């Protein structure tokens, strides 16, 4: 021990690589959940915009549930629920898969994707609706199909509108992945806990974890603002040619 020093600085330095070992796990959850969440969100947005019967009801309940229950509970439901359901079907239809072999992180991918998808659906819906009706009519009037108009005209413009909100959602998601430790997934917090448990230097380990999250978030904020600038190219000012 280092006498009356407030923190064990040397320990903190030594624990950085150990805690950082959780970064790839945290990032993989965030990135995979974001990609699948965006797809889910896009589908729900279409269901709501086109008011597709039956599906409209189902997605409303889904979004309401995802927003109305804590993420931690959803994680537990996936973690304990999915294996149970799989085991049931596996025995019933004789699938011959060993459910205990599925790594816990897979259930995290599922629960985070479902959660993010619900939140992103509103962002994406609003962004799509923000594109003027005239844009769609111009595309349709020249013979584009709805899918072509969506891909070539609506989505590129909606993306510009959505990107600040998508960026915020991603940063929030990145920090939410810390909850995955509750399912024994060795992400940043999981690693910090394991490392600190040996010597009880919990505060030091968590300070390291906080610093790592902060750095990663700053990095992604930069990336997001770069992406936004790129997408906004067409709004550049007149004066520099």
Partner 1 sequence: MIEITDLHKSFGKNEVLHGISLKIPQGSVTAVLGPSGSGKSTLLRCINMLEAPQSGTLRLDQLQVDFASVHKKDILRLRQDTAMVFQAFNLFAHKTALENVAEGLIVVKKMPKKTAHAQAVQYLEKVGLIDRAGYSPTQLSGGQQQRVAIARALAMNPKVILFDEPTSALDPELVQEVLTVMKKVSLEGITMIVVTHELGFAREVATDIVFMDDGRIVEQSAPQVFFNNPEQERTRQFLRQIAPDYNYQI
Q: Where do contacts with partner 1 occur on this chain (CB under 8 A)?
A: 132, 134-135, 137-145, 148, 152-153, 156-157, 160, 234-236, 238, 241
Q: Of 57 and 152, which CB lies nearer to partner 1 in the complex structure?
A: 152
Find the shortest distance in angstroms from Cβ 2 to partner 1: 59
Q: Of 24 and 156, which CB lies nearer to partner 1 in the complex structure?
A: 156
Q: Of 198 and 234, which CB lies nearer to partner 1 in the complex structure?
A: 234
Tokens of 194: 């394991």
Q: Of 40 and 150, which CB lies nearer to partner 1 in the complex structure?
A: 150
Give yes or no for a contact between 34 and 173, defined as CB atoms under 8 angstroms apart: yes
Whose tokens are 């004066």? That residue is 239
Find the shortest distance in angstroms from Cβ 49 to partner 1: 18
Q: Of 51 and 234, which CB lies nearer to partner 1 in the complex structure?
A: 234
CA 50 and chain centroid, separation: 25
How far is the C-alpha of 221 from the C-alpha of 174, rounded, in Å?
12
Q: Of 98 and 241, which CB lies nearer to partner 1 in the complex structure?
A: 241
Write the CB contacts of 92 (distance below 8 Å, at least 6 apart in sequence).
none
Find the shortest distance in angstroms from Cβ 35 to partner 1: 23
Dump the DSSP string for 21-68.
TTHHHHHHHHHHHHHHHHHHHHHHHHHHHTT-TTHHHHHHHHHHHHHH
Give yes or no for a contact between 45 and 121, defined as CB atoms under 8 angstroms apart: yes
CA distances (Å), 161 to each of 35, 231, 236, in order? Answer: 18, 10, 15
Mark residue 204 as left, alpha or beta (left: phi above 0; alpha: psi -120 to 50; beta: remaining): alpha
Q: What three-state secondary structure class fits 95? A: coil
């Amino acid at each position: 021990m280092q006498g009356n020093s407030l923190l064990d600085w040397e320990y903190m330095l030594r624990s950085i690589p150990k805690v950082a070992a959780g970064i790839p796990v945290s990032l993989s959850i965030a990135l995979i959940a974001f990609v699948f969440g965006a797809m889910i969100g896009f589908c729900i947005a279409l269901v709501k915009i086109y008011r597709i019967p039956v599906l409209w009801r189902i997605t409303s309940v889904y979004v309401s549930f995802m927003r109305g229950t804590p993420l931690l509970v959803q994680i537990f439901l996936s973690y304990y629920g999915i294996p149970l359901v799989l085991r049931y079907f596996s025995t019933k239809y004789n699938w011959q898969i060993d459910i205990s072999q599925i790594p816990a992180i897979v259930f995290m991918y599922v629960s985070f994707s479902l959660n993010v998808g619900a939140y992103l659906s509103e962002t994406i819906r609003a962004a799509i609706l923000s594109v003027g009706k005239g844009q769609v009519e111009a595309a349709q009037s020249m013979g584009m199909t709805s899918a072509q108009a969506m891909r070539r005209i609506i989505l590129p413009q909606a993306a510009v509108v959505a990107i600040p909100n998508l960026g915020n959602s991603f940063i929030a998601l990145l920090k939410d992945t810390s909850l995955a430790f509750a399912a024994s997934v060795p992400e940043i917090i999981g690693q910090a806990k394991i490392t600190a448990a040996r010597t009880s230097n919990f505060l030091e380990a968590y300070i390291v974890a906080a610093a790592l999250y902060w750095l990663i978030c700053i990095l992604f904020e930069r990336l997001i603002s770069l992406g936004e600038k790129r997408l906004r190219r067409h709004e550049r000012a007149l004066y520099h040619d």
